[in-house]
Structure 1
Amino acid sequence: MVKPILENDYYKNLDLESKIGLSRLLDLVEIVLNRKISRTTDFLDPGMIYLAESILNQFDIEYEIFGGYEGAERCIIRISPFYVQKSFEDICLFEIKSREELNHRNILGSVLGLGIDRNKIGDIIVDKKSSYLFTKRELANFLSLNFSKVGRASVAVKELALKDFVAPEIKYVEKRLIISSLRLDAFISGVLRLSRAKSQELIRAGKVKLNHRDILDVSYVLEEDSLISVRGYGRVIFHRIENKSKKDKFIIIIRTPE
């Protein structure tokens, strides 16, 4: 039995969603160990991947992490006995074209509107000429037949080989800000122009992630090149400290995607 690992104090303190995800992961590990066959997870976000690796490293198995292209954020994990040949045929890539302008939220909403589980969906990349959707292979036929609209816009969907995909370069806009402190609540307050109390409320409500991991500590001191995401507000990178003001405040540079 592998489930007792979750009785460790570290894992017992995780949120319910993380516990359920790790329980499913351990079910796969048990299958791999007992039946000597490979199994793959659904798509996991970076925070969950971090937790999954901490579990998988405790077993005599091999695992690989891949999201369809180098640098993918949402990835699947293939778990195998050492002697099983590696393969990532579990991921499918679709190119989406439309005469209308598409965005990440609309594409995801339209896919989920077809009754598809969010965990079956990997990264969604929106470029000027085309958008790209990574999914589990099991959805290929269904999406080919049923995915024809994003909102009210008609779309043409075509499956592509993973080897033919070149990720577009992400361009960032830099902005200079002055904040009173490098504390998480002060940063969010300065970047989003919220009161310190509102920023603390968002953090304590579990709506803030730091480098893809949940954080509830309002006084956490940020380091340079940290990624902060706030549900309902978006993401921002705390790139670097540029200087200090005469009033001893921090002059910082933040980055947001164009």
Structure 2
Amino acid sequence: MKDREKILKFFAAGGDEAKEMAIRLLDLADSVERGRPFAVGPFMAPYGRQIGQTIAAHMKTVTSAGFGGFHEAERVRISFKSNDYEGPVDYGVSLLSVTWDGRYRLIGHRDVLGSLMGLGIDRSILGDILMQGSGCQVICDKTMAGWLIDNFHKVAMVPVEVKEIPLSEIQPPKQTAKEVRATVASLRLDAVGAAGFGISRSKMAQAVDDERTEVNWVPAKSASQAVKPGDIISIRGRGRIEIVEQTGVSRKGRIGLLINRYK
């Protein structure tokens, strides 16, 4: 691919994780260009969709898509398909049901993920983990489903039962958003983030400096970077906000925004 180094250089600016994702996806796209009808990568952070689309736009001989078990999935498997191929793409996704004694309702997402990673597996075989009270659903690579059933027995020392169920039985989380209307002096990340999360501008800047903040699933570069309607800002431990629209400009030049905040 003639633009490989150019694409790598662009995404490398987003950090080591973005660069590694770009390398993996470029290799997949190259394999399709060399004759494979389609190729599917491992589960990736949402930013993988943007990388895949950028690569496909430069190649023009392939198309890129992502699938993580349901439409709103965050972690997805990115595919590349030859423009000459009209068949289906097998994403190789399985759904596991994990249940435990209902008395242990304090088990959370972090406990489940930690126990899974404690098995020595790679994060890339796991999609989203959907919590459901005294249980959860785990989206995973189909080739690892049987191994997980045989080896995943406990979460935080609590025994669990694991079984594979049809993907049609997936229960996506209900997205609830708090609508926030605010005015900001500028569309800087620290200003918009502070308004959306309801924190001080200095705390927002600190969250950026501590590398806990992402814009569109990419680590934030600085508190002063510009954001715009459609962008998603997330802070580890605080959730995320979406800039829905710019509602106008006041006489004093302050910018009105409609923001959705998700926890």
Q: What residue is the counterpart of 1:163 in the other structure?
A: 168
Distance 2:76 2:89 in 1: 14
Q: What residue is the counterpart of 1:54 in the other structure?
A: 54
Distance change >3 Å, CA 104–CA 251, structure 1 → 2: farther
Q: Deviation at 1:37?
A: 4.3
Distance 1:170 1:92 in 2: 23
Correspondence 1:228 to 2:233:
yes
Paired amino acid for 2:71: E
Q: What residue is the counterpart of 2:69 in the other structure?
A: 68
Which secondary structure does the structure 1 equivalent of 2:133 belong to?
A: coil
Distance change >3 Å, CA 62–CA 180, structure 1 → 2: closer
Correspondence 1:86 to 2:88:
yes
Counterparts of residues 71-150 of structure 1 (less than 5 Å): 71-81=72-82, 82-83=84-85, 85-98=87-100, 99=102, 100-101=104-105, 102-128=107-133, 130-150=135-155
Distance change >3 Å, CA 157–CA 177, structure 1 → 2: farther
**Uncovered stretches (5+) of structure 1, i.e. residues with no partner:** none
Which shifted more, 247-256 or 39-48?
Answer: 247-256
Distance 1:231 1:26 in 2: 29
Q: What residue is the counterpart of 2:26 in the other structure?
A: 26
Distance change >3 Å, CA 188–CA 168, structure 1 → 2: closer
Structure 2 length-normalised TM: 0.79
Q: Deviation at 1:134?
A: 0.7
Paired amino acid for 1:70: H
**Uncovered stretches (5+) of structure 2, i.e. residues with no partner:** none
Paired amino acid for 1:87: V
Distance 1:57 1:30 in 2: 13
Percent identity between matched residues is: 26
Which secondary structure does the structure 2 equivalent of 1:155 belong to?
A: strand
* Superposed CA RMSD: 3.3
Distance 1:252 1:84 in 2: 43
Q: Deviation at 1:56?
A: 1.9
Count of aligned pairs? 256
Distance change >3 Å, CA 83–CA 221, structure 1 → 2: closer
Q: Deviation at 1:214?
A: 2.9
Contact 1:6 1:12 in 2 (8 A): no
Distance 2:229 2:12 in 1: 30
Contact 1:124 1:133 in 2 (8 A): yes
Paired amino acid for 2:88: K
Which secondary structure does the structure 2 equivalent of 1:169 belong to?
A: coil
